[in-house]
């Protein structure tokens, strides 16, 4: 009897302990899932740069909300962070802007142990001149900037920046709202580098832009709607944005002008003062999964730096755009110009406000 009673006591104790453990785990799960405990991940990037499906899946898997803020060009992002804006968890600058942010200590060095999927990136995208070893940034997409045009209105084959200056297209032109891109295009047309800091060359680029201005309907970093509505026939734009239009509207064409232009890598980074650093790491690591990278490249039509997804790619257009197959030719990566950037800012504001 005594034996039986002590056995029953042990069973009762184990049962009570198990129940308590289950209850605590359940409470913890419920409180983490409670709407008031949902964390918010603040992302600051160019417009439409993450497919909504990818964002929704991340929100569900991590019981969080992703808030998205847009900038139109890297200079806007740099100015905002340099002026002290904080509160973003993820930012998506381009190559040269990553360098500028490293120099001004505005992005955090990354802990690669928290990014097991980093191994999926090709070496071309981890050993990058703007951030050797990707110590501060993780390549997200890459592409070029060039001209997209509607063949319904532009009957001639386009191969040069010259087309922008033709009288047939007055007020039918859109240019990127981006000093490095637009003055860079003018410089290429004149035969100069997109990274010049020579005042005579910059002045010539500014004069050329002033000559072009009467033809420009708008400056926009996302001219898709204006192209589709027919307001604009030729737009200076980014390759992925152009390919998104072409996918559903084959009458549009995209070219990189023969005089050259810009090739870029956009990258994810965690800014100083990020309130949700652990969630930011989860976000980056999730993007680096081949299946997620595939969804991104298929929807955004930008090329992916993720070599682990190459075997999954069915779309021939996207396959054909592997960076290893790209002949750089006259395409240039933009460089951080440090203190000389001021010369560009002046030339740009003089051209835009005149
Ligand atoms: N809609 C997103 C476009 C992102 C393109 N970034 C390219 C920047 C090159 N300077």
Place of tokens 């003018």: 186
Using the atom order of ligand 1, give the atom closest to the CA of residue 222.
1
Q: Give the rounded percent of residues in the chain with a pLDDT score beyond 70.
A: 88
pLDDT band for 153, please (50, 70, 90 cuts). Answer: very high
Residue 86 pLDDT > 50, yes or no? yes
Domain check: are 271 and 137 in the same one?
yes
Give the three-class secondary structure for 41: strand
Domain check: are 119 and 240 in the same one?
no
pLDDT band for 34, please (50, 70, 90 cuts). Answer: low
Q: pLDDT at position 325, please?
A: 57
Domain check: are 244 and 279 in the same one?
no
| Most informative mutation of 177, 221, 305, 336 for ligand 1 (most atoms within 8 A of CB) | 221
Which CATH number goes with the domain that contains 201?
A: 3.40.190.10
Residue 200 pLDDT > 90, yes or no? yes
Q: Could you tell me which residues come within 8 angstroms of residue 163 by beta carbon, excluding any fewer than 6 positions away?
A: 147, 149, 154, 156, 169, 234
Spacing, Cα 135 to ligand 1 middle (Å): 22
Q: Could you tell me which residues come within 8 angstroms of residue 346 by beta carbon, excluding any fewer than 6 positions away?
A: none
Spacing, Cα 91 to ligand 1 middle (Å): 13
Using the atom order of ligand 1, give the atom closest to the CA of residue 178.
10
Distance CA 192, CA 208 (A): 13
Domain check: are 74 and 131 in the same one?
yes
pLDDT (tens digit, 9 = 90+) per residue, 204-261?
Answer: 999 999 999 999 999 999 999 999 999 999 999 999 999 999 999 999 999 999 999 9
Domain-located, residue 16: no
Give the DSSP letter of residue 59: H
Q: 58 CB less than 6 Å from ligand 1? A: no
Distance CA 311, CA 319 (A): 9
Q: What is the extent of the structural domain holding 220?
A: 143-263+335-353
Give the DSSP letter of residue 303: B
Distances (CA, A) of 224 to 215, 229, 300, 347: 18, 9, 13, 27
Distance CA 344, CA 44 (A): 24
pLDDT (tens digit, 9 = 90+) per residue, 321-354?
Answer: 555 556 677 899 999 999 999 999 999 999 998 8
Residue 44, φ and ψ in degrees, nearest 5? -125, 115
Domain check: are 285 and 179 in the same one?
no
The answer to whether the beta carbons of residues 38 and 143 sit under 8 Å apart is: no
Domain check: are 157 and 286 in the same one?
no
**For all residues of the chain together, what is the average pLDDT?**
90
> Could you count the other beta carbons within 10 Å of the beta carbon of residue 276?
19
The pTM for the full model equals 0.89
Q: 302 CB less than 6 Å from ligand 1? A: no
pLDDT (tens digit, 9 = 90+) per residue, 308-317?
Answer: 998 898 887 7
Q: 304 CB less than 6 Å from ligand 1? A: no
Spacing, Cα 74 to ligand 1 middle (Å): 9
Give the chain's domain count.
2
């Amino acid at each position: 009897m005594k034996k039986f009673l002590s056995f029953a006591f042990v069973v009762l104790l184990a049962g009570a302990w198990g129940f308590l453990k289950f209850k605590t785990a359940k409470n913890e799960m419920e409180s983490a899932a409670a709407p008031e405990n949902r964390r918010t991940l603040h992302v600051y990037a160019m417009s439409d740069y993450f497919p909504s499906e990818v964002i929704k899946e991340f929100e569900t898997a991590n019981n969080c909300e992703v808030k998205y803020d847009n900038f139109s060009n890297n200079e806007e992002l740099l100015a905002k962070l340099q002026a002290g804006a904080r509160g973003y968890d993820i930012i998506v600058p381009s190559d040269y802007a990553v360098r500028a942010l490293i120099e001004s200590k505005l992005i955090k060095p990354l802990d690669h142990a928290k990014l097991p999927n980093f191994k999926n990136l090709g070496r071309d995208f981890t050993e990058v001149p703007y951030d050797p070893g990707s110590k501060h940034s993780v390549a997200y997409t890459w592409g070029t900037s060039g001209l997209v045009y509607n063949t319904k209105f532009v009957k001639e084959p386009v191969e040069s920046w010259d087309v922008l200056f033709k009288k047939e297209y007055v007020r039918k032109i859109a240019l990127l709202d981006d000093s490095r891109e637009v003055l860079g295009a003018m410089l290429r047309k004149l035969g100069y580098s997109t990274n010049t800091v020579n005042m005579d060359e910059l002045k010539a680029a500014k004069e050329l832009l002033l000559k072009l201005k009467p033809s420009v309907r708008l400056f926009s970093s996302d001219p898709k709607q204006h192209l589709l509505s027919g307001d604009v026939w030729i737009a200076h734009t980014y390759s992925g944005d152009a390919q998104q239009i072409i996918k559903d509207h084959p009458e549009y064409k995209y070219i990189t002008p023969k005089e050259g232009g810009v090739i870029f890598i956009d990258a994810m980074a965690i800014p100083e003062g990020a309130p949700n650093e652990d969630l930011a790491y989860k976000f980056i690591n999730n993007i680096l999964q081949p299946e997620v990278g595939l969804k991104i490249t298929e929807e955004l039509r930008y090329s992916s730096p993720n070599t682990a997804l190459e075997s999954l790619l069915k779309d021939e257009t996207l396959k054909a755009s592997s960076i290893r197959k790209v002949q750089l030719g006259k395409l240039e990566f933009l460089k951080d110009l440090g203190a000389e950037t001021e010369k560009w800012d002046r030339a740009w504001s003089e051209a835009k406000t005149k």
